[in-house]
């Protein structure tokens, strides 16, 4: 099963991508794609949106798998380090200051926010590589960024900016272009590469911090890889799509039983699984017959929360 997991996920992606290309408000006839404005819809709307969904999902999935491995906890989520809230704060500030009208400003502000959170995390947690200190620092940065986001909201210059911020925070992939793809895709790919480098160190962490060090893991280096990898994947994801929750929590959890359960072995499958989940969820958002379009972030939370409640109800006996 372990060896067949990646090919299976890739096969599912190969099925899902063409389906997603054709599906939407306007269904495209695969045998006559040239009719009407179908080509324009494909090239300028659907294709970038699909690439973006794959990118963000892959980044969140890989970051979630690495986080769970690093914290040795199946409930860890990429948002825990404060990087996603930091990126969100940056994006909110770009709305607040009015710069969001420029196409490059919003992602740039968000990336700066993510980088700021990463720097703060590295500075406070220091070089010792203690996981507890690191987690607490991340949680504090997360609360601080959250509080500042609320502050920016409450002091919003006008109701229009406020509603824009709130909608954006919900996370979505509507009306994204190749522009966003060029920002997010290289950074996310680099981030997944960095997280894959952390794989052996994360495997060693299975035995606890001390045993990991005795196996030659340098805690400071592992922590630096985590900050960089999660920062790049999550930061660039939030920069182009807003807050998309649950993917990083859910996907590694779902796929772990099909691997040998080493954290390092879960990173690439989680990237593929995350890409698949976000792609399918986003396609469904497009298809649901609602007045407006269902926001991706909301859809994933609507899907994720009951899923986890069911999982927890099943685990109740074992946890007690």
Partner 1 sequence: MTLAAQDLSLPGRLSGVSMELHRGAVTAICGPNGAGKSSLLRCLAGLMGGRNVLLDGLPLELRSARERACEIGYLPQEGEVAWDLTVETLVSLGRLPWRSGAEADRIAIDAAIATLSLETLRQRRVSQLSGGERARALIARVIAGTSRWLLADEPLANLDLGYQQTLLGQLRALAGQGLGVVLVLHDLAQAANFADRVLVLDRGRLVADAPPLEALGEATIERVWGVRARWLGEPGQRALAVEPTSARAP
Residues at the contact surface with partner 1, assessed by CB under 8 A: 72-73, 200, 203-208, 210-211, 213-218, 256, 260-263
User: Minimal distance in Å, beta carbon 193 to partner 1?
Assistant: 19
User: Minimal distance in Å, beta carbon 17 to partner 1?
Assistant: 32
User: Minimal distance in Å, beta carbon 213 to partner 1?
Assistant: 6
In the bound state with partner 1, the residue whose beta carbon lies nearer, of 37 and 73, is 73
User: Minimal distance in Å, beta carbon 254 to partner 1?
Assistant: 15
Mutual angle of helices 131-154 and 47-71, in 10-degree steps: 140
Is 19 in contact with 283 (CB distance < 8 Å)?
yes
User: Minimal distance in Å, beta carbon 212 to partner 1?
Assistant: 9
User: Minimal distance in Å, beta carbon 263 to partner 1?
Assistant: 7
In the bound state with partner 1, the residue whose beta carbon lies nearer, of 35 and 73, is 73
In the bound state with partner 1, the residue whose beta carbon lies nearer, of 29 and 260, is 260
In the bound state with partner 1, the residue whose beta carbon lies nearer, of 54 and 217, is 217
In the bound state with partner 1, the residue whose beta carbon lies nearer, of 64 and 242, is 64
Number of Cβ within a 10 Å radius of residue 11: 11
Quick one: tokens of 282? 């986003």
User: Minimal distance in Å, beta carbon 84 to partner 1?
Assistant: 24
User: Minimal distance in Å, beta carbon 71 to partner 1?
Assistant: 9
Dist CA 305 CA 299 (whole Å) = 10
User: Minimal distance in Å, beta carbon 320 to partner 1?
Assistant: 15
Dist CA 297 CA 304 (whole Å) = 10
- Determine the straight-line distance between the first and last CA of the chain, rounded to whole angstroms: 30
In the bound state with partner 1, the residue whose beta carbon lies nearer, of 130 and 174, is 130
In the bound state with partner 1, the residue whose beta carbon lies nearer, of 132 and 211, is 211
Nearest in space to 140 (alpha carbons), one of 130, 151, 152, 132: 132
Dist CA 59 CA 185 (whole Å) = 9
In the bound state with partner 1, the residue whose beta carbon lies nearer, of 99 and 258, is 258
* Residue listed under structure tokens 């920016």: 152
In the bound state with partner 1, the residue whose beta carbon lies nearer, of 42 and 197, is 197
């Amino acid at each position: 099963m372990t060896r067949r997991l990646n090919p299976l996920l890739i096969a599912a992606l190969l099925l899902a991508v063409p389906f997603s290309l054709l599906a939407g408000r306007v269904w495209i006839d695969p045998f006559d794609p040239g009719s009407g404005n179908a080509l324009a819809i494909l090239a300028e709307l659907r294709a970038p949106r699909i690439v973006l969904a794959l990118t963000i999902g892959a980044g969140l999935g890989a970051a979630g798998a690495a986080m769970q491995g690093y914290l040795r906890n199946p409930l860890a989520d990429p948002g825990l380090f404060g990087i996603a809230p930091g990126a969100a704060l940056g994006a909110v500030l770009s709305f607040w200051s009015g710069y969001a009208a420029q196409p490059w400003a919003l992602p740039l502000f968000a990336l700066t926010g993510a980088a700021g959170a990463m720097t703060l995390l590295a500075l406070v947690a220091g070089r010792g590589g203690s996981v507890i200190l690191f987690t607490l620092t991340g949680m504090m940065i997360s609360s601080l960024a959250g509080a500042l986001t609320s502050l920016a909201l409450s002091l919003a210059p006008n109701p229009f900016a406020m509603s824009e911020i709130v909608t954006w925070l919900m996370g979505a992939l509507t009306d994204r272009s190749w522009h966003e793809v060029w920002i997010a895709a290289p950074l996310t790919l680099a981030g997944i590469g960095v997280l894959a480098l952390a794989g052996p160190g994360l495997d060693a962490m299975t035995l606890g911090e001390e045993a990991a060090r005795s196996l030659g893991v340098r805690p400071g280096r592992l922590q630096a890889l985590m900050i960089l990898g999660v920062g790049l994947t999550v930061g660039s994801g939030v920069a182009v799509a807003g807050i998309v929750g649950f993917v990083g929590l859910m996907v590694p959890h779902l796929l772990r039983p099909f691997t040998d359960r080493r954290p390092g072995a879960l990173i690439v499958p989680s990237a593929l699984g995350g890409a698949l989940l976000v792609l399918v969820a986003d396609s469904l958002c497009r298809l649901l017959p609602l007045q407006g379009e269902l926001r991706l972030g909301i859809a994933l939370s609507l899907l994720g929360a009951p899923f986890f409640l069911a999982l927890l109800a099943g685990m109740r006996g074992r946890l007690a």
